[in-house]
Every structure is written in structure tokens, then in C-alpha cells.
Structure 1
Amino acid sequence: MSRRTVGLGIVAALSGTAVLALTWLLEALPGEAEMIARGRQLYAEHCASCHGDTLQGQPNWKRPLPSGRMPAPPHDASGHTWHHPDGVLFRITKEGPAAVVGNGYESDMPGFADAMSDDEIRAVLAFIKSTWPDRERLYQAEMSRREKERTQ
């Protein structure tokens, strides 16, 4: 493989990452600060009692509780929230995990359809995503982009 081929491959990869980062920034700019601030407030009101004030989740969140249900996972970069596209995160928050997992899955997390509007749920998710490092945000943004492509 020639140096030129390797160089072009690197440029292409970096260009793709730059485009993704630019897309993220352009989508995030209008009203994003206000949305994140509102999401932080709503998270404190509706989510922090289980998922933690600093999004750290409950202790031993990967092991079932005595009830057989799973503890609340962290929403920071140490958890798996950033592995899911926006549509999945929105649906889990609005309808509860059982709506996404199915098969009679039981969870201590309720759906928040009666407690928060769709825009408020989006604000909470914007706040959570704003706390992630760039790598996790870019990965999650790409997952969301792919999800949109599949559903269009």
C-alpha cells in the first residue's frame, strides 16, 4: 500500500469525523444551552433520586436487586446510555424500559409520559448527553443518525 493511499485513507477518516462533529455542533447550537439547563432541572426533579445527582447510577448496577430487577444504571460515560440512539432513549424515558425490552421485562423505572412532555423528555436527554465526553457523544450521534436512516 502506498503512502498516498494511506494518506488519503486518513484524510477520509478525519473528514468523516469532522463532518460528524460539525453536524453535532450545528444541531446543538440554537437554544441548546437553555434546553440543557431545563433538562438539568427536570433530571434533578424526576431522575436523580434513582440515577444519582451526578448521573452515577445505583451501586452494583450490573447485578440484579433481591427483587430480580436491575438497579438504575448510570447515565454518565461509565454506563451504557450512550450506546443507544435517541429514539430508544426517548421511548425508554417516555414509556418505561419494558416498552423497549419487551418479553414481560419488569423494571422499577416508570414511564414519564404523564409526568413530562415530549419536549421536557428531550431536554432531560440533552442534559444527559451534554455531560458525555466527545467520543461518547459522537458515537451516540452516529447511532442516532443510523436509526433515523432506518426509519425514514
Structure 2
Amino acid sequence: MRRLAIVVAGVALAGAAILTFGTGPAESDGMVLRDGDPETVALGAEVYAANCASCHGADLEGQADWRIAGPDGRLPAPPHDETGHTWHHDGETLFNLTKYGVGKMIGDPNYASDMPVYEGILKDDEIVAVLSYIKSTWPQKIRARHDDMTAQQ
């Protein structure tokens, strides 16, 4: 009987640890971006400039006609500023899209996209930093709306 109580207590502690500390990348458990953390935002700006700006623009403006597929059927890079749709997606979706790509997210390995898959290229913390940087540039009203979306997850 005492042994059963010890096993039950151990399982309860393990469950509590998982609930408290999570098991995934920093962003995936609730995916709260750190747009108010100057160090994270600064790192994100550097990583964005080196990996994202060539397509999404130095000022997050995206490519022209980003909603219209080109002759190859692929969509141009969307803006990440307030004029785009990035802020319409919760942090976890943005993280997974960046790390694993659209094809994996929608379950279509043949989905054609110019968006690189950053798994194995960027560390999870770098992806979080880029997304935090992007969010830090949005007007406060949009940032608050994104916070509300995240809280509802």
C-alpha cells in the first residue's frame, strides 16, 4: 500500500512538472512572444536582417502584390508590419510555420512555397526572437489584440 502511494505521488509530481515547465520550445507552451524584452527584440532584428529581410523587406513591407500568386503558383512574401496578416495568427502558429513550413502545417508535403523551412537553420530561441521583433513593430492596439488571441489558446 505504501509503495502504491509513492508511485501515485511520483506520477502526480511528474504531471505537475510538465504542466509547470512544459516540454516544447520556449514559445510553444502558450507561445507568448517577448516583444517587450529589449534583448530578445535586438537579437530578433539581427536574425531577421540576416534571414528574412531579403524577401519580407528590411522594413517588414513584404513583396508587391503579395496576395496574388505568381506564374509559378507561389505567393510572394507577405508583409510582417500591420498591413499584413502576420498578426492574425497566434504565436504558436507563427513559430510552427517558420520552423516547419506551410506544407507540414497543412499536411501537404507537396505544397509549393518560397518560404524556407528554418528547422536546423535557426534555433528555437532565434525564431522566437524574430517573431518578437516583428511583433514589437506593430501598433499597440494590434499587439494587444495578438496578446488576447494568445491568451485564448
Q: TM bucket by the smaller chain?
A: 0.7 to 0.9
SS at 2:80 equivalent:
coil
Identity over the aligned pairs, expressed in percent? 47
- Residue equivalent to 1:129: 135
**Do the aligned partners of residues 98 and 77 (structure 1) sit closer, same or farther apart at CA in structure 2, a change above 3 Å counting?**
same
Unpaired stretches in structure 2, ≥5 consecutive residues: 1-31
Larger Rg: 2
How much does 1:90 deviate?
A: 0.2
2:117 to 111, 120, 124: 111
Q: CA RMSD in A?
A: 1.9
For 1:45 and 1:78, the matched residues in 2 are separated by 22
For 1:126 and 1:30, the matched residues in 2 are separated by 4
- Residue equivalent to 1:44: 49
Matched, 1:138 2:144: yes
How much does 1:100 deviate?
A: 1.9
Matched, 1:35 2:40: yes
Question: When the two structures are superposed, what TM-score results if normalisation uses the length of structure 2?
Answer: 0.74
Matched AA of 2:65: N
For 1:84 and 1:118, the matched residues in 2 are separated by 18
SS at 2:152 equivalent:
helix
How much does 1:30 deviate?
A: 10
**Length, aligned pairs only:** 121
For 2:150 and 2:35, the matched residues in 1 are separated by 19
**Do the aligned partners of residues 71 and 30 (structure 1) sit closer, same or farther apart at CA in structure 2, a change above 3 Å counting?**
closer
CA deviation map 1:19-57 (0-9, x unaligned): xxxxxxxx8889810100000000000000000000000
**Do the aligned partners of residues 67 and 132 (structure 1) sit closer, same or farther apart at CA in structure 2, a change above 3 Å counting?**
same
Name whichever structure is richer in helix by fraction.
1
Matched AA of 1:76: D
